[in-house]
């Protein structure tokens, strides 16, 4: 049960935009392919106008980079295009990944403008991996971020990922469930995710179960006899209050209790869930089942869950499907991959991309990100993007300043600084082992605890501070002026 078996078997090296290959071929033809280039992956906007996003996908990124290779069939495919040089095809045939890669560990809160992945290496290689790096990290960060919003809205109630059937194909279901777990869901409905990622698969019954038996009561009893120790009944196939719940109570009394178990829960999947759950609660309590939970599903997301809780819906756990697995309210995580520097005779030359859209101007140079934490409260104070070799000495005060309104300055004291980017490949060799998924989930929760409530607000959250170091700011300012 090698959990990444399915990634290994299916080599995704060809999952790259075609221009990665035409550029690679062009770099080789122009004798610049060996030049050392630096690329940053970063994103510009937090989905749903949230206060932070969550990094995810590093484990799959590592698997991809470890397995980069091109088969004879791939070479033949390129040859058939009649635009690639044989020398380039040879290069692909003998492809050997030699880049350095840094990434922010999964589960870390991340903010716009910060590099979250950095690749350094021959431009021919560093360019080729663009599509898969973006695809992998964009998708899982999107879902982890969304999942965490929903989990926070549920205020301690369990949230289970239920969305496979509406996912954007197979890995959107599988890796989406993985990311949802990192973001705080307690489990998934998807069996393969349990088998391959050790994330608990949970499930009850579909309406079809109820329809397969002569009556709803027959169906409930049949289920309870097979699963008396884990009896969750779906009560809305016909009429929730008039039939579903009374039949569930009857089943609990006649089939579950006599077998020495307590029933687990009922599930409501349609109708007005606030009203139905409150009525159901009363009926269950009156029947002596105040320990039996009520699970709600059907079109839920963080907005609806917040309202349901405001309306005192009597719901103990939520099954969240399509709006989680597609991140419906904002299904795009807009990470980009930009050249930030090249090496010339061993010297790092920062590069910038200017744009008529100010928001699309890149920050040049080879970087690191430091997060400053308050020593007393352990709360995150600010992130500072620095040049890679800079260190922030947390034994003395450190002045941060707004990169645009540079007169806005703040002297930070009594803090400790942590580097966010860690090496994952060194000269093409993997130097980082992904933590297990449960540890990632736990780490994510801990790291989110370091954020102030104001950053976690759903509406107009406080904008977390992400500044540039003075040295990095100077380089950017100089390049901007030169390119005017």
Among 56, 61, 175, 369, the residue binding a second copy under the rule CB under 8 A is: 175
165 touches a second copy (CB under 8 A)? yes
Task: Decide if 159 contacts 47 (C-beta within 8 A).
Answer: no
- The residue with tokens 């989990």 is 151
Q: How far apart are CB 401 and a second copy at their closest, in Å?
A: 27
Shortest Cβ distance from residue 229 to a second copy (Å)? Answer: 8
334 scored as a contact of a second copy (CB under 8 A): yes
Binding positions for a second copy, 69-128, rule CB under 8 A:
73-74, 76-77, 83, 123, 127
Three-state DSSP class for residue 121: strand
Site track 353-372 with a second copy (rule: CB under 8 A), x = hit: xxxxx--x------------
Chain centroid offset of residue 89 CA: 35
Tokens of 95: 């492809």
Own/partner long-range contacts of 67-72 (Cβ < 8 Å, ≥24 apart): 67/7, 67/8, 67/11, 67/12, 67/13, 68/13, 68/95, 68/97, 68/128, 68/129, 69/11, 69/13, 69/95, 70/13, 70/14, 70/95, 71/11
CB of 140 to a second copy, least distance (A): 8
- 141 part of the interface to a second copy, by CB under 8 A: no
Residue 169 binding a second copy, by CB under 8 A: yes
Query: Closer CB to a second copy, residue 186 or residue 342?
Result: 342
Near a second copy by CB under 8 A, which window of 140-148, 413-421, 428-436, 459-467? 140-148
Nearer to a second copy, 112 or 331 (CB): 331
Q: Does 23 bind a second copy (CB under 8 A)?
A: yes
Report whether 43 contacts 112 (CB < 8 A). Answer: yes
Report if residue 32 touches a second copy, rule: CB under 8 A: yes
Residue 230 in the binding site for a second copy (CB under 8 A): yes
CA distance 349 to 235: 65
Taking the complex as a whole, how short is the minimal distance between the CB of residue 118 and a second copy, in angstroms?
A: 14
Assigned token pair, 46: 């937090």
**Unique residue bearing structure tokens 């029933």:** 263
Residues within window 254-293 making contact with a second copy, judged by CB under 8 A: 270-272
4 scored as a contact of a second copy (CB under 8 A): no
345 binds a second copy (CB under 8 A): no
Of the two residues 268 and 455, which places its CB atom closer to a second copy in the complex? 268
* 3 binding a second copy? (CB under 8 A): no
Among 16, 257, 283, 287, contact with a second copy (rule: CB under 8 A): 16
Contact call for residue 172 and a second copy (CB under 8 A): yes
| Closer Cβ to a second copy, 167 or 440, answer by number | 167
Sole window of 33-41, 284-292, 376-384, 427-435 interacting with a second copy (rule: CB under 8 A): 33-41
3-state secondary structure of 173: helix
- C-beta of residue 204 within 8 angstroms of C-beta of residue 234: yes
Q: How many CB atoms lie within 10 A of CB 79?
A: 12
Identify the burial level of 387 via C-beta atoms within 10 angstroms of its C-beta, where 0-12 means exposed, 13-18 middle and 19 or more buried.
middle
Q: Should residue 306 be labelled a site residue for a second copy when binding is judged by CB under 8 A?
A: no
| Contact flag: residue 68 with a second copy (CB under 8 A) | no
Nearest distance, CB of residue 58 and a second copy, angstroms: 14
B/e letters for 8-47, b = 16+ CB within 10 Å, e = fewer, are eeeebbeebeeebbebbbbbbeeeebebbbbbbbbbeebb
The kind and range of the H/E element at 308 are helix 302-310
Would you list the DSSP string of 425-482? EETTEE---PPPHHHHHHHHHHHHHTS-HHHH-SSS-----EEE-HHHHHHHHHHHHH
198 is a contact residue toward a second copy (CB under 8 A):
no
Nearer to a second copy, 160 or 417 (CB): 160
Stretch of 198-206, 289-297, 438-446, 470-478 lying at the interface with a second copy (CB under 8 A): 198-206
Smallest distance, Å, CB 206 to a second copy? Answer: 6
């Amino acid at each position: 049960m090698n959990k990444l078996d399915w990634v290994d078997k299916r080599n995704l090296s060809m999952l790259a935009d075609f221009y990665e290959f035409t550029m690679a071929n062009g770099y080789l033809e122009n004798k610049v392919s060996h030049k050392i280039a630096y690329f940053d992956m970063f994103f510009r906007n937090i989905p749903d106008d949230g206060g932070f996003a969550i990094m995810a996908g590093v484990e799959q990124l590592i698997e991809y980079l470890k397995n980069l290779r091109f088969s004879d069939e791939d070479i033949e495919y390129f040859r058939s295009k009649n635009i690639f040089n044989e020398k380039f095809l040879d290069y692909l045939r003998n492809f050997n990944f030699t880049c350095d890669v840094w990434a922010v560990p999964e589960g870390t809160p991340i903010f716009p403008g910060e590099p979250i992945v950095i690749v350094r290496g021959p431009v021919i290689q560093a360019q080729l991996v663009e599509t898969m790096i973006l695809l992998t990290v964009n998708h899982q960060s999107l879902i982890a971020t969304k999942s965490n919003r929903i989990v926070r809205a549920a205020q301690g109630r369990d949230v289970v990922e239920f969305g496979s059937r509406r996912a954007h194909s197979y890995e959107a279901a599988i890796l989406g469930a993985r990311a949802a777990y990192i973001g705080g869901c307690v489990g998934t409905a998807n069996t393969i995710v349990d088998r391959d990622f050790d994330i608990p698969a949970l499930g009850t019954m579909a309406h079809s179960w109820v329809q397969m038996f002569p009556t709803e009561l027959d169906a409930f009893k049949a289920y309870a006899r097979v699963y008396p120790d884990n009896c969750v009944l779906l009560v809305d196939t016909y009429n929730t209050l008039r039939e579903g719940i009374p039949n569930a109570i009857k089943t609990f009394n006649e089939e579950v209790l006599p077998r020495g178990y307590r029933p687990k829960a009922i599930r409501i999947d349609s109708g007005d869930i606030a009203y139905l759950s409150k009525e159901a609660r009363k009926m269950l309590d009156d029947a002596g089942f105040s320990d039996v939970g009520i699970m709600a599903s059907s079109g839920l997301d963080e907005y609806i869950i917040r309202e349901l809780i405001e309306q005192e819906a009597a719901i103990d756990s939520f099954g969240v499907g399509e709006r989680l697995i597609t991140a419906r309210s904002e299904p795009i995580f807009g990470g980009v991959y930009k050249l930030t520097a090249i090496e010339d005779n061993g010297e790092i030359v920062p590069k910038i991309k200017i744009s008529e859209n100010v928001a699309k101007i890149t920050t040049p140079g080879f970087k690191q990100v430091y997060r400053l934490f308050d020593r007393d409260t352990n709360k995150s104070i600010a992130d500072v993007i620095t040049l890679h070799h800079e260190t922030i000495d947390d034994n003395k005060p450190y002045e941060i300043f707004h990169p645009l309104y540079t007169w806005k300055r703040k002297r930070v004291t009594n803090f400790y600084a942590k580097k966010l980017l860690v090496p994952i490949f060194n000269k093409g060799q993997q130097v980082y082992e992904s933590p297990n998924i449960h540890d990632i989930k736990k780490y994510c929760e801990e790291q989110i605890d370091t954020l102030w409530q104001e950053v976690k607000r759903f509406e107009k959250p406080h904008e977390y501070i992400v500044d540039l170091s003075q040295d990095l700011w100077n380089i950017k300012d100089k390049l901007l002026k030169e390119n005017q």
